[in-house]
Amino acid sequence: MLKFADLFAGIGGFHLALSRSGFECAFVSEINDNARKTYAANFPTSVEKLTRRGHFVGDITLVDKQSVPKVDLVTAGFPCQPFSQAGRKLGFEDTRGTLFFEIAELIQAVQPKAYFLENVRNLDSHDGGRTIKTIQSVLGGDLGYSFQKFIVNAADHGVPQNRKRMFIIGFRDPSVFIDKPPPAPLQFDMSDILGGPVDKRIGHTLRVGGRRSGVADRRNWDSYLVEGVEKTLTPFQAKLMQGFPPDFAFPVSNNEAMKQLGNSVAVPAVEAYGRQIRAALGSF
């Protein structure tokens, strides 16, 4: 089975999606203790095996990249940091001191067949456009991989959430690219989620902060009118909007669970692109 390394792993959205796409997780890095608890609660067999091998780790900056096992795919839902102060070389040197450098260094060490990165949709404009330009320069120039970017809406992959993110995908063979997967119909809508008529079929993007601001607030993202009554999303409802299964567990407080979900990926969207990657890797 094809193997992947799960960097900036969060609660395991990539793990769940790629397991469904024909991959096996061989390495996990996540610095947040609460996220690690949720990850371990939902993938106990995998985490037990990874921990025994020293492959369920915390801070990626402390990891010897040469010690990471060989994998076919590296994934990362990484934070973006400005590269402005790093120089003007638009290459490896430009990323030193940023978390993206940790990904690039690991790719250089492990030489996976492909990478799959996720970030905010406006990464193109971040830091005046330097961030995405530098990322492409490193992945496509310094490391020699192909480079594609997609703006992906979770609502196009069966879940009722208007969540747009950038997926960045490339292959060690620079001639290999994937097609954008076809959209999938909604499997359920916000009325199904909230148990009564809602004026929106597709919900707001789940976020980390600003909870309970109320439907009248322009910053509202977690409150809806259900038959005239204002209701606030619960973690159970929010995880369905992200495409997690009903039995996905959160051994943390409800507030922490909502933060974790706001930071996570939409599972069906990652799964759809994971299948495209899996098919492309069949030609290697």
pLDDT digits (tens, 9 = 90+) for 39-70: 999 999 999 999 999 999 999 999 999 999 99
Question: Could you give the percent of the chain with pLDDT greater than 90?
Answer: 84
Tokens found for residue 222: 């977690």
Tokens found for residue 261: 């979900």
Q: Which of 35, 71, 80, 178 is catalytic?
A: 80
pLDDT of residue 128: 87
Whole-angstrom Cα Rg for the chain: 19
- Bridge partners (DSSP) listed for residue 23: 2
Taking alpha carbons only, the member of 108, 34, 36, 116 closest to residue 66 is 108
Distance CA 151, CA 143 (A): 23
Residue 80 appears among annotated catalytic residues: yes
Span 197-213, pLDDT tens digits: 998 999 999 998 888 88
| pTM, rounded to two decimals | 0.95
Average predicted confidence (pLDDT) for the chain:
94
Q: What is the mean pLDDT of residues 34-38?
A: 98
What letter would DSSP give residue 215? T
* Coil, helix or strand at residue 281: helix
pLDDT of residue 90: 67
Domains of the chain (ranges, CATH numbers): 2-184+262-281 (3.40.50.150), 190-248 (no CATH)
Strands 164-171 and 148-153: antiparallel
Q: Where do the DSSP E strands lie in 102-219?
A: 114-120, 148-153, 164-171
Helical spans, DSSP H, in 152-243:
190-194, 235-241
